[in-house]
A and B are shown apart, each in its own frame.
Chain A
Amino acid sequence: MPSLPDVRNCKLMTDLSPMNQMNGTRDRWHYGLGVLVLAALLAGCGKDESTLRDDVSKPKTVELSESSSAGQDPESSEAGLKPEPLNRLMPKFDIVAAESGFDFQRYDDMHGQRRIIETNGGGVGLLDIDGDHRLDIFMTNGCRLPLSLNDHSTPSVLFRNLGHWQFERCSDNAFLQQFGYAHGCSVGDLDSDGFDDLYVTAFGPNSLWRNNGDGTFSDATIESGTSVPVWSSSAAFADLNLDGHLDLYVVNYLDESDETPRLCPNPASPTGYEGCSPAIFDGVDDVLFLSDGTGRMVDVSANCGLAGLRGKGLGVVITDLDDDLVPEVYVANDGEANFLFKSNVVNATSKDAESALLRSLSRASPAEDFHLTNLALASATALNESGFAQASMGIAAGDYDGNGTTDLFLTHFYGDTNTLYENSGQLVFRDATRSSRLGPLSRQTLGFGTVFLDADQDGWLDLFIANGHVDDRTWMPQPQPYHMPPQLMVNRLDGTFQEASAWAGNYFNQPRIGRGVAAGDLDSDGRTDLVVSHQLAPSVVLRNVTASHARTVRVRLIGTVSNRSAIGAAVEFSAGGLVQRRTISAGGSFQSASSRECLAAFPEDSDISIQVIWPGGRRQSIDQESGLEMPAAEGD
C-alpha cells in the first residue's frame, strides 16, 4: 500500500498567501474567524512539538475484500511563544568561560541503545570544602557500562573556588576519587566538625565522603553503612528526628541492570532503538538512614513506612511544610504519585504540640520509634489537579508568594505542564499551575533541575529551570526536541510568573540537555549564581550580573544545638513591610545540592531586621550589621 499523501506540508502552506487560501470560501467564511483559524493553522509550522504518547492513530486502511495498512504520521510543528517585553529590571547571567578553570563535561556512555540508565545525567553540589566561605563545586560523572571497578577514566570532579571566578580541579589532591556511574549528591556537615561532607548517589553503590577538614576527603561509605547498591538518583541530609544529627534520605529510581539492560528496539530509529518508558520498569523503595550520633547511620527503611512504596523517585526536598518546625520529606516520583512524608516527631515548642517529646527521640533505637506517614494525597501534592501522577523530576522549594509558607514547584515531561503546588498552610496545597501562568510555559519543554532564586533582586523568588529531553526523539514521526533552552521565570509579585529567558543572557538562547542545577553566591557579591550540569555538552557556571542596586544580606547559619549545618532553619528578613523568608532546605532541584546560605535583597536604604528560626522552633534575632555577610551561630 502506498504511503499516505503528504498533501498539506506546513512549509508549502506557509508559502501561500492567506487570501489564496481563503479564495472561494471567503463568502462563506466569517472573515475574522477565518484569519484566526488560518493563523492558528500557520502557527503549527516551524517548531518541533510532540507529547508523551499518542493514543490516536489513524486506523488501518481497508480495501474492498482484503485489509492492508497505512498509517499517517503527518509532520507538524509549533511556533514558539514570543515573549512580551517586561517593563522591569531584567535578571542577567553570563557564562563563566572555560578559562576560569571550570571545564567539565559529563560522560554517560551513550552509544545509541538509549538505555534508560543514560537518561538521568548528573547533578551539582555546592559546598565549602575548606572553610574559606567560598562555594566549591562538585560535578558527578558517569562511566562506561557495564560498571567496572577498574574504570577510573571518568571520575566525578571537585573544583575548588579560588575566588575572582577562578577554579581548579582538586579531586585528586582532595583524595575524592569518586568513580562509577554517579548521578546526584547531597551536602551536609554529618559529623558536626565544621566541614561539609558529601554523599554521592549512583547507579551502583552510593558513596559517603567525609571531609577531613584539611582539604581532603575519606571514603566513609562502609563505616557509615550508607552504601545503597541500587539505582539512586537524589539524596538529602536533614535532621528528621530533631536529635541534632543529620539523617540521610536516599531516593531510588528503577530496578534495572547495567549488564543486561532492558532495551526497546525500534527499526525506525537511526540507531535501531528508542528509549524505554519508565513505566515498564519496577520502582525501588527509597532508603532512610538515621544517624546514631556516633558516625554510623542506621537503615530504618524497613519499618519506618517506606517499605513497598517503590515510587520511582527522582527528586527530593526536606523542609518544614506545615510550620510545625519539624521537617517533612517530599519526593518527586516519575509517573507515580509523589510522596509527602510527615514524621511522628512532635515538636515541643510548636503550637500544636501535645506532649513533651523532645530530642533524641530515636537516638537509642530509631528503627522502633521513628515513622513516616505519606500524606501526599491528603495534602493534594500527590497528583496534579487533573488527577495525574506526573513524570516528576526536579523540585524547587520556596516561598514564592511571600505568605510565609514553603511552596513546591515540580518539573515534568514534554507535553505536560510543570506544576506549582501553593502551600495554603496546615499541610494543604493548591495546584497553582494555572493561576501562576507557569503551565503553558512548560508545555514544550521537559524540565529537570529547578531552583527558586531571587534572580533580579527584587525580594521575590524567581524560577530557573534546566530543560532537555530524556533521549533523542528528533527522528520520530512526531519529532520532539532533544536539546531545549533553559528557562528563567520572573515573579511578577501578583502570584504569576513571566518568562524572562530572552533577556537573561546568551546561555538562555541555546538549547541544551540540562539536568542538575545548584544555586549559590559563588563570588560573594550577594547575587545568586548557578551551576548547571548538561549531557553531551560542557556544564556551565552562570554568573549573576543583574544590574541591581539592591542591598543584599547573606546569612550563614551555624547550628550548635541543632544540626551544625542548620538544615531546617529559616531566616526571616524584614524591611519596609516585606518579609522574605528563606528556608535552609535539604535536597531540592534534581540530584543536586545548593548552597545553604540565605540571601535576601532589599532597596538600598532599607532598615532590615533579621530573625532566625532554628530547627525545633527557637527564634533568634540577629543584629543588623553593615556587611553583606552575617554568620550566625545558634545561641549567639
Chain B
Amino acid sequence: MTKSAQQEHATSAKSATGAFNVRSVALLLLAVMVVGLAGVVLTRGRGNAFPAGISEADIAQAQRQFRETFGIDPDYADTLAMLGKLLDKDDRLQIAVSCYEAIPVTHPRFGLAARLQAGVSLGRLNRAAAAENAFREYLDLTAGRRDGVAEGRVTAREWLTYLLSVELRFEERQAIHAASHIEGLADLNDSKQYFFPYLLLYRTTRGASQLREFLWVDPDNPQLQIALGRYLTGEGRPDLAERLLRDLCTRLPGNLRCIAALLECLYEQDDWSEFSPVIADVPDFDSSEPWLLTEMRGQFALQEQRWDDARREFQRLLAVVPTHSACQMGLVTALRHLDDETALHEAEEKSLALARIRVNLPRVKIGHPAEILKFAEQCDQIGLTDAAAVFRSYARQNAESPGRAELQADD
C-alpha cells in the first residue's frame, strides 16, 4: 500500500469512526440514563426494603423511638439500627441480625456499632462462628481508633474470649487478652485469664452446656466438634470422645487441634498403645502448634521415661504459659529423674505456689484490694513479675477507687 492510499484509508476510517462515535455516545447516554434511572429506582426500592418479618408497625415504632431518643429524623440505616435494638429486646434475634447486617459499614452513626451488635445477637443465637467473625470484623474496623470505640472493643473482646473459652481455643484467647492488655483495656478478670489460663477451671459444665448449644445450631463446625470431644473426655466419657475424635481427625487430616484432642483422650484413658501410633505421625515441634499437643508430647516422653525430652517439652510450653500447672508437674516428674536437685527444688516450689495461687484466684476480685495485693506478692515469689505488676496496679486503683479495676495503659 502506497503512502497516499494509506492516508485515504485512514481518512475513511476516521470518518467512519466519527460517525460511529456520535451514535455510540448518544446510545451510551441513553443507556446511562436508563440504567441510572433504573438504578435509582432499584436502589431506592432496595434501600427502603426491610428484612423479611418486619411489619409496618415495627418500622413506625422504630422511627418514632429513634426520634424520641435522638431528636432527629432517622434515615434508613438509623431505622434499621433502632429496629435491630427493638427486635433484640423482643428476642427476634435473627431478624435483628438481618437489620444490623443491612446497615452499611460506612454509616456514620451505626456502621461500626452494627457489626458489634450483630455479633452480640449472633452470639445470643448461639451462632458461634458467625458471631466470632462479626466481632473480629469489628475489632479490625476499629483497630487504632480512639474515638469512642473502647467500650465496643472491650465488649467484642469479652464475647470473643467467651466464645474461645467455650471452644477451648486458648491460644487464640491468649492473643485477644494480650491485645487488651496492650491497649490498656483489660480488666481484672481479663488479667486473671491472661496470666493464669489453666488455673481457672476451663472445661466446666457451663462451658460444656454452651458448646452443645452452639453445636445444635452449627453441628458440622469442626472447631466445635473438636471441643465436644475434649468435653466428653473431661466428663469421663473417653470412649465416646475417642470415636468422635478419630472420625473427625480422619476427616481433617493434619489438623493438629484434632490430633491433640485425640491424644489427650487416649492419655486420659492411659492407653499408650493407641497413643504411640498417633503421636508418631505428628510433625516435629513447631512453636505455633496447639499447646495441648506440646503438653501431650511431654506426657508421652514421661511415659517413655525420656526424662530429658520430657523436660524440654514441658519447658517449651512453660515458656509460653508459665502458669501451666500440669506442665509444671510434668517438669517436676522429669526432674526427679535428672540429676539437678536445684532445678527440682525450684520446680516443686513453683508447683506448690501455683496450686496456692489457683485456690486464691477466686478471692482476687474487685473490692478486695488487700487480697489483690497479697496475690501480687504470690506472683512475685515465683517470678511472675509482669503479672505481679499488673495486679498491683489493680490493687492500687481499687484502693483509690473502690469498684473499679481496669488496667491503665500506662501500667
Interface residues of chain A, those whose CB is within 8 Å of chain B, are 1-2, 4-5, 7-8, 13, 21-22, 25, 28-30, 32-34, 36-41, 43-44, 49-65, 67, 70, 72-76, 78, 81, 277, 279-280, 335-337, 377-378, 380, 382-383, 385-389, 415, 428, 434-435, 437, 439-441, 443-444, 478
Contact = CB atoms under 8 A, between A and B. Distances in A.
Contacts of B408: none
Interface string B352-382: 1011101110110000000000000000000
B269 A434 contact: yes
A56 B236 contact: no
Q: Which A-B residue pairs are the 9 nearest by beta carbons? A: A440-B236, A387-B325, A76-B209, A59-B158, A54-B206, A389-B355, A55-B200, A443-B236, A387-B329
B168 to A, nearest CB: 10
A33 B251 contact: yes
Nearest to B247: A33
Contacts of A30: 247, 251
Contact of B155 (A5, A33, A36, A67): A67
A61 B131 CA distance: 13
A33 B240 CA distance: 11
Contacts of A385: 326, 329-330, 333
B117 interface: yes
Among A1, A25, A386: residue with most chain B CB under 10 A:
A386
A32 B202 contact: no
Contacts of A58: 123, 162, 210
15 contacts: A7-B126, A8-B217, A30-B247, A36-B244, A41-B215, A54-B201, A61-B88, A62-B116, A73-B206, A74-B210, A377-B352, A382-B352, A383-B329, A386-B329, A428-B336
A495 B78 CA distance: 68
A169 B179 CA distance: 69
A4 B225 contact: no
Contacts, number: 211
Interface stretch (B89-97, B285-293, B396-404): B89-97
A564 to B, nearest CB: 39
Contacts of B330: 385
B75 interface: no
B155 A32 contact: no
Nearest to A477: B206
Interface string B204-235: 11111110110111011000010010001011
Contact of B244 (A33, A74, A428): A33
Contacts of B294: none
A14 B110 CA distance: 41
A59 B236 contact: no
Contacts of A428: 336
A37 B332 CA distance: 37
Given A277-B362, A378-B348, A76 B205 contact: yes
Contact of A56 (B207, B270, B325): B207
Nearest to B241: A40
B213 A8 contact: yes
Given A51-B205, A377-B352, A60 B155 contact: yes
Nearest to B207: A56
Contacts of A65: 113
A70 B121 CA distance: 12
B359 A336 contact: yes
A25 B225 CA distance: 15
B236 to A, nearest CB: 3
B268 A439 contact: yes
A352 B234 CA distance: 43
Nearest to B244: A36
Contacts of B159: 59
Contacts of A44: 208-209, 212
A57 B162 contact: yes
A380 B334 CA distance: 12
B120 interface: yes
Contact of B225 (A37, A336, A389, A437): A37
B129 to A, nearest CB: 14
Interface in B182-214: 193, 200-202, 204-210, 212-213
B201 A37 contact: no
B165 interface: yes
Contacts of A53: 201, 204, 362
Contact of A435 (B93, B236, B270): B270
A342 B224 CA distance: 48
B243 interface: yes
B169 interface: no
A161 to B, nearest CB: 39
Contacts of A62: 116-117, 120, 152, 155
B322 interface: no
B194 to A, nearest CB: 13
Given A1-B89, A62-B116, A387-B325, 12 more contacts: A49-B208, A52-B201, A61-B88, A62-B152, A64-B113, A64-B117, A78-B235, A277-B362, A387-B326, A387-B328, A440-B238, A441-B236
A279 B360 contact: yes
A32 B247 contact: yes
Nearest to A32: B247
A420 to B, nearest CB: 12
Contact of A387 (B225, B351, B360, B362): B351
Contact of B91 (A2, A40, A57): A2
Contacts of A444: 236
A76 B166 CA distance: 14
Given A44-B208, A387-B351, A478-B209, A64 B236 contact: no
Nearest to B268: A434
A54 B201 CA distance: 7
B103 to A, nearest CB: 10
Contacts of A279: 359-360, 362-363
A51 B247 contact: no
A29 B206 contact: no
A52 B166 CA distance: 16
B205 to A, nearest CB: 4
Contact of B219 (A7, A29, A337, A383): A29
A547 to B, nearest CB: 31
Contacts of B212: 8, 41, 44, 76
B136 interface: no
A13 B219 CA distance: 13
Contacts of B110: 64
Among A40, A335, A386: residue with most chain B CB under 10 A:
A40
Interface string B51-89: 000000000000000000000000000000100110011
A74 B208 CA distance: 10
Given A25-B220, A75-B209, A59 B351 contact: no
Nearest to B299: A385
A13 B216 contact: yes
A59 B360 contact: no
B178 interface: no
A388 B206 CA distance: 21
A566 B265 CA distance: 45
Given A51-B205, A387-B326, A59 B162 contact: yes
Contacts of A435: 270
A56 B204 contact: yes
A25 B90 CA distance: 29
A9 B57 CA distance: 31
Nearest to B200: A55
A442 to B, nearest CB: 8
A454 to B, nearest CB: 24
Contacts of A387: 325-326, 328-329, 351, 354-355
A72 B124 contact: yes
A386 B326 contact: yes
B210 A56 contact: yes
Nearest to B329: A387
Nearest to B158: A59
B162 to A, nearest CB: 5
Interface in B316-338: 325-326, 328-330, 332-333, 336
Contacts of A37: 215, 219, 225, 228, 244
